[in-house]
């Protein structure tokens, strides 16, 4: 059974998402494989707007509340590391099972469920989380198939629809907000804090919108210098962060820090030293956990906009892409049907596995005896496939009609699983030499 647990921007504000954000340490704990016995596979997705876990469990019945609750509780405890925080997570997290989980993953991959509809960065984030789970061995055959399907679906939507046209990332929307505030960015000083993917997107978009004075700051000075050279801006050292902010009109922060890098006391002191205490400064925070000290809200001259504050302009920008949503939805449903068919076939294959193994063993032994290994291997696969074709079709139809296969699987297991059947002794053939008689036989 597919299950999921999520904390996202639709149901949790930025402070809540920050509290339950999937850090690297939490992901490592979840992917270590020490969850509930029923949880067989796990993939974790962490972005600025969502923290989600997808899992495959041994239970194949979404209508079994006990198995579902036990697995979800185990995931929550591994996520948070202790019972008290796990209880708080369970109180606010969204939970889904079965087909709804698969549909959710595909919709996220296409950008249909992003804060910015058609978000251009989400597909790469899906790819990264899937790659990590694959490398750690946390993803198995079912989640491999699901995320392969999700990546294919996302690419189809990008190439076959206009859903991803125009501005489609939080970084691009932040740059547009800066332009809307000043009208002409050519005369504004802008600071980009963090030169990763989001920071690069912001800087490039600011450059496209006419910004000429862009300061790039990053813990790795080399990365800041590379981005500054690309957009014709200037790199500044990390130690000069608060001074550069004090002299800026707009600053956009997007780093991977786990605590604020823009500190209220340091920024107030820098503004006093630079004589800019009364100058307006727009700070935009695109990170989870937040990079900008929340206590800067309300400081004279400073406006702080976090991801929640950016939600309204994001929604307005979505209107231009909504026309493409029906086509994207159709692609999602088509790919979802393909995934469901694969899962049904996989369940049928698992149910019939004992019979397939018994048939394979018998065919290979008998054919090897009659014709040798080379012929036996090829002929066995063909014979078993033909024998099982009709049962497989029947089982897939039964699954499609909602019939359970547990009893059938148990019956086949009891009939055909077990120790291998001992080989028959060699049979004498015409013309074969008889064994020599012993003195006792005379």
Residue 434 confidence (pLDDT): 46
Residue 429 confidence (pLDDT): 43
Residue 314 confidence (pLDDT): 59
* Domain residue spans of the chain: 2-160, 170-307, 350-416
Residue 29 confidence (pLDDT): 92
Distance (Å, whole) CA 342 – CA 240:
55
Question: Which residue carries 């050279």 as its tokens?
Answer: 229
Question: Which residue carries 């149901």 as its tokens?
Answer: 11
Distance (Å, whole) CA 172 – CA 436:
92
What CATH fold (topology level) applies to the domain 170-307? Rossmann fold (3.40.50)
CA dihedral 284, 289, 291, 295 (to 10 degrees): 90
Query: Is the fold of 2-160 the same as that of 170-307?
Result: no
Residue 426 confidence (pLDDT): 46
Distance (Å, whole) CA 43 – CA 53:
6
Distance (Å, whole) CA 424 – CA 129:
52
3-state SS string over the chain?
CEEEEEEECCCCCHHHHHHCCCCHHHHHHHHCCCCCCCEEEEEEEECCCEEEEEEEECCCCCCCHHHHHHHHHHHHHHHHCCHHHHHHHHHHCEEEECHHHHHHHHHHHHCCCCCCCCCCCHHHHHHHHHHHHHHHCCCCHHHHHHHHHHHHHHHHHHHHCCCCCCCCCHHHHHHHHHHHHHCCHHHCEEEEECCCHHHHHHHHHHHHCCCCEEEEECCCHHHHHHHHHHHCCEEECHHHHHHHHHCCCEEEECCCCCCCCECHHHHHHHHHHHCCCCCCEEEEECCCCCCECHHHCCCCCEEEECCCCCHHHHHHHHCCCHHHHHHHHHHHHHHHHHHHHHHHHHHHHHHHHHHHHHHHHHHHHHHHHHHCHHHHHHHHHHHHHHHHHHHHHHHHHHHHCCCCCHHHHHHHHHHHCCCCCCCCCCCCCCCCCCCCCCHHHC
Residue 234 confidence (pLDDT): 96
Distance (Å, whole) CA 363 – CA 384:
8
Q: Does domain 2-160 bear CATH number 3.40.640.10? A: no
pTM exceeding the 0.85 threshold for the entire prediction = no
Residue 116 confidence (pLDDT): 75
Residue 61 confidence (pLDDT): 59
Residue 284 confidence (pLDDT): 94
Residue 79: which of 36, 23, 1 has the closest Cα?
23
pLDDT by 10s per residue, the chain, length 442: 899 999 999 899 999 999 999 999 999 999 987 777 788 999 999 988 899 999 999 776 555 678 888 899 999 999 999 999 999 999 999 999 999 999 999 999 999 998 878 887 889 999 999 999 999 999 999 999 999 999 999 999 988 988 876 555 678 778 888 888 888 899 999 999 999 988 998 999 999 999 999 999 999 999 999 999 999 999 999 999 999 999 999 999 999 898 999 999 999 999 999 999 999 999 999 998 899 999 998 899 999 988 887 766 555 656 667 788 899 999 999 999 999 888 877 767 766 777 777 777 777 777 776 777 777 777 777 787 777 777 777 777 776 666 666 666 666 666 566 555 454 444 444 444 444 444 444 4
Residue 408 confidence (pLDDT): 65
């Amino acid at each position: 059974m597919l299950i999921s647990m999520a904390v996202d921007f639709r149901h949790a504000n930025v402070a809540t998402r920050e509290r339950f954000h999937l850090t690297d340490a939490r992901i490592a704990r979840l992917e270590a494989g020490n969850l509930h016995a029923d949880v067989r596979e796990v993939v974790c997705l962490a972005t600025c707007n969502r923290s989600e876990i997808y899992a495959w469990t041994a239970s194949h019945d979404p209508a079994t509340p006990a198995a579902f609750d036990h697995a979800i509780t185990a995931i929550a405890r591994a996520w948070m590391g202790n019972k008290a925080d796990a209880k708080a997570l369970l109180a606010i997290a969204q939970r889904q099972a079965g087909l709804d989980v698969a549909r959710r993953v595909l919709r996220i991959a296409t950008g249909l469920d992003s804060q910015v509809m058609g978000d251009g960065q989400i597909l790469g984030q899906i790819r990264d989380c899937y790659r990590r789970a694959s490398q750690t061995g946390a993803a198995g055959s079912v989640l491999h198939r699901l995320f392969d399907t999700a990546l294919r679906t996302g690419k189809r939507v990008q190439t076959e629809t206009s859903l991803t046209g125009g501005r489609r990332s939080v970084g691009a929307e932040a740059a547009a907000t800066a332009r809307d505030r000043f009208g002409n960015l050519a005369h504004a000083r802008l600071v980009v804090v963090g030169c990763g993917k989001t920071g690069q997107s912001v800087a490039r978009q600011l450059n496209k919108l006419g910004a000429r004075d862009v300061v790039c700051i990053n813990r790795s000075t080399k990365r800041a210098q590379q981005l500054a050279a690309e957009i014709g801006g200037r790199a500044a050292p990390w130690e000069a962060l608060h001074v550069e902010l004090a002299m800026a009109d707009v600053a956009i922060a997007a780093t991977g820090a786990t605590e604020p890098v823009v500190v209220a006391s340091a920024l107030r002191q820098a503004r006093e030293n630079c004589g800019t205490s009364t100058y307006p400064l727009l700070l935009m925070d695109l990170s989870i956990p937040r990079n900008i000290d929340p206590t800067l809200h309300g400081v004279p001259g400073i406006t702080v906009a976090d991801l929640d504050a950016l939600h309204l302009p994001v929604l307005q920008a979505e209107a231009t892409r909504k026309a493409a949503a029906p086509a994207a939805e159709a692609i999602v449903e088509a790919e979802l049907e393909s995934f469901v068919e694969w899962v049904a076939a996989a369940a049928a294959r698992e149910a019939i596995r004992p019979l397939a193994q018994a048939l394979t063993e018998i065919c290979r032994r008998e054919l090897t005896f009659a014709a040798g290994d080379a012929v036996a291997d090829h002929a066995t696969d063909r014979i078993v496939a033909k024998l099982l074709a009709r049962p497989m079709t029947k089982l897939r139809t039964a699954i499609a009609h909602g019939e359970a296969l547990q009893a059938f699987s148990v019956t086949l297991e009891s009939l055909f699983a077990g120790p291998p059947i001992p080989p028959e002794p060699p049979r004498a053939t015409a013309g074969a030499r008889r064994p020599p008689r012993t003195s006792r036989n005379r």
